[in-house]
Each structure stands twice: as structure tokens, then as C-alpha cells.
Amino acid sequence: MSNKFASLTAKQKKVYNAIENYIKTKGIPPTVREIGEMLGEKTPGAVQGILNRLELKGVIKRQIGMARSIQLVTQEESLYEQPVFVPMIKKITKRNYGDLANMYNVSRYIPLYKELVKEDADNFLIRWEDDSLDCHGIKPGDLLLACTSVTPQKGKIYIILYENLTLLRIYEGRDSQGKFIFSSDNDFLSKTSFADSEIIIVAQVYRKISSL
């Protein structure tokens, strides 16, 4: 262990270890609040103070003004790869589905562990607000990670546009007439088959991010 690690106090080492365990478990850095919860520290200012001292000692790096930007530093390099900053979008409509990450539709950018996102694809995060796939573990308010590079695969979850509705559905294949079949747990439309001209398949949902 280098001198900079040896110089840490017991409390600083405890914070460093908590961050390290969180990154290894979740794949993303914790927030200040989450660090406080892990350590039983109720005062955010106290956690910030420790983080400031860890940064001064060169064992962490942070990006100013960006949540979840903590990087732990070994003797030579970052403990994990540089994060990928993924846009959290506000909504999906027929007006914006071709440019979801436009400046008016992005609420903020979230740093995610590189292995969580699809390579060579337009990834985005969206907060889903209905219970259409409740039985499949997607609850109202869950944050979903999706990408717009879409080749429909049976059993995968997709965001589709139908008329003026944005729907979350599971692709079940094609029927005898060649129509898309999409199912849900709570289908208020009472409609599962769609002609190609009726829908736009916007994105595939491939992960729920429950820790943000």
C-alpha cells in the first residue's frame, strides 16, 4: 500500500472501503447520502468533509457538480473504468422519438459503470410511471435503462409508440397475419397485435436501475 493510503485515518479508510464495496456491488459510485446511510452518519456535511480529505490525499477523484462521480484511485490508476454518462430523458413521444437526447428532453446525465450499458448503441434512462409490467418486476417509478438500437427478440421488453400512447410491452413474435404481438401484465387497451404501420418500436429495455 502506498504512503497516501497508509496516511488515511481509521474513519477515512472506513469511508473508502464503503465506497469500494458499493462500486463492486452496484457497478456505480454511491451518492453522499448513500455513503452516510452505510456508515450511520446522518450529517451530509460530515461525509463531504471526509470525501474532501480523501480527495486531497489522492485516493479518490470527483467531478464537480456531478452526482455519482467518485472514482477510487489505486497507486497507478482508477479502481474501475471511466463511467459512461447516460442521459435521463423526460418523455418519449412521436415528436421526439428520433432525437430523445435533445437538450430539452434530458433532465440530467447519470454516470454508469461501462459494463451496464450497451456498446455502440444510444443508451438512455427513463422513469417509468405505470404498472403494465408489474408482474415482471417493473413498478411505477422504476428507472429503466434502454437503447434505441432495436432488433425485436421474443421475450424481450420494448418501449413502443401506439397512437398517442407510450407503452411498455414484451415482444411475443408475429401472428399468422404477420402482425407484431406484444403482451403486458395489465393491458388496459385489450390489444396485443399491431400492424407494422400502427406502432413505432422505440427502444429495448434491458435493465432496471433500482439504486438511483
pLDDT at 185 over 80: yes
3-state secondary structure of 136: helix
Residue 16 class from Cβ within 10 Å (0-12 exposed, 13-18 middle, 19+ buried)? Answer: buried
The Cα–Cα gap between 172 and 182 comes to: 6
Residue type (1 letter), 29: P
Quickly state the pLDDT bin for 197 (edges 50, 70, 90): very high
Q: 102 with 86: CB under 8 angstroms?
A: no
**What are the pLDDT digits (tens) for 117-146?**
887 778 999 999 999 998 988 999 999 999
Reduce the DSSP state of residue 144 to 3 states and report it: strand
One-letter amino acid of 208: K
| CATH fold for domain 3-72 | Arc Repressor Mutant, subunit A (1.10.10)
Rounded Cα distance between 5 and 15, Å, is 12
CA distances from residue 139 to 127, 128, 151, 195 in whole angstroms, order as listed: 10, 8, 25, 28
Whether the pLDDT of residue 115 is over 90: the answer is no
Q: Render 28-85 in DSSP notation, one character per residue.
A: SPPPHHHHHHHHT---HHHHHHHHHHHHHTTSEE--TT-TT--EEB-SSSBSSPPPEE
Question: How much is the pLDDT for 74?
Answer: 64
pLDDT at 1 over 50: no
Asked whether 171 and 159 are in contact (CB, 8 A), the reply is no
pLDDT tens per residue, range 2-44: 567 778 888 898 999 899 888 877 778 888 889 999 988 888 8
CATH 2.10.109.10 fits 84-209, yes or no: yes
All structural domains of the chain with their residue ranges: 3-72, 84-209
